[in-house]
């Protein structure tokens, strides 16, 4: 499991001072980028070397408790499944160990031609 920490800035909140719902998707996207980087690769490198990019195919999200301005959030990323061209991740946003947001994210690897492409062996090995 990978963890990424971020702060809630004023720009992340709405008029009520709570995190605007769409910004949770930005937080988990940043955490995914850092997670890939922690595997010894980055997304630009995957594109340059293997011609692959990742696209979100499906996402389910539960908004449980609102985050607020100046909160310190921890976003965890855990691989639930990785096979073929697809990965399923569990991504959670927590504040002080309390679960605020939970998402299941299905990613698909896409090749330069726009079609689904198998995950590279080196990436599959890093995920195992």
Q: What is the CATH number of the domain that holds 55?
A: 3.10.129.10
Residues 54, 107: contact at Cβ < 8 Å? yes
- The pTM score is 0.88
Read off the tokens for 121: 């062996």
Tokens read off for 36 = 């890939």
Q: Which structural domain range is residue 110 located in? A: 2-127
Please give the pLDDT value at position 90: 98
Q: Are 73 and 30 in contact (CB under 8 A)?
A: no
Tens of pLDDT along the chain (128 residues) come to: 999 999 999 999 999 999 999 999 999 999 999 998 888 777 787 787 777 888 999 999 999 999 999 999 999 999 999 988 999 999 999 999 999 999 999 999 998 888 988 887 877 777 77
pLDDT at position 36: 87
Question: What pLDDT is recorded for position 47?
Answer: 81
Residue 39: the pLDDT is: 84
pLDDT computed for residue 121 by the predictor: 80
Which of 14, 42, 62, 71 is catalytic? The answer is 14
To the query of whether residue 42 is one of the catalytic residues in this protein, the response is: no
Looking at the structure of the chain, the number of domains it has is: 1
């Amino acid at each position: 499991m990978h963890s990424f920490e971020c702060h809630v800035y004023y720009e992340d909140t709405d008029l009520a001072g709570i995190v605007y719902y769409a910004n949770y998707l930005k937080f988990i996207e940043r955490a995914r980028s850092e997670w890939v980087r922690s595997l010894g690769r980055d997304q630009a490198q995957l594109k340059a070397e293997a011609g692959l990019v990742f696209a979100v195919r499906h996402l389910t999200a539960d908004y449980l408790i609102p985050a607020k301005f100046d909160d310190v959030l921890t976003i965890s990323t855990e691989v639930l499944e990785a096979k073929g061209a697809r990965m399923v991740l569990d991504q959670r946003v927590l504040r002080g160990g309390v679960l605020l947001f939970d998402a299941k994210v299905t990613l698909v690897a896409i090749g330069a031609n726009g079609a689904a492409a198998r995950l590279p062996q080196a990436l599959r090995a890093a995920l195992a």
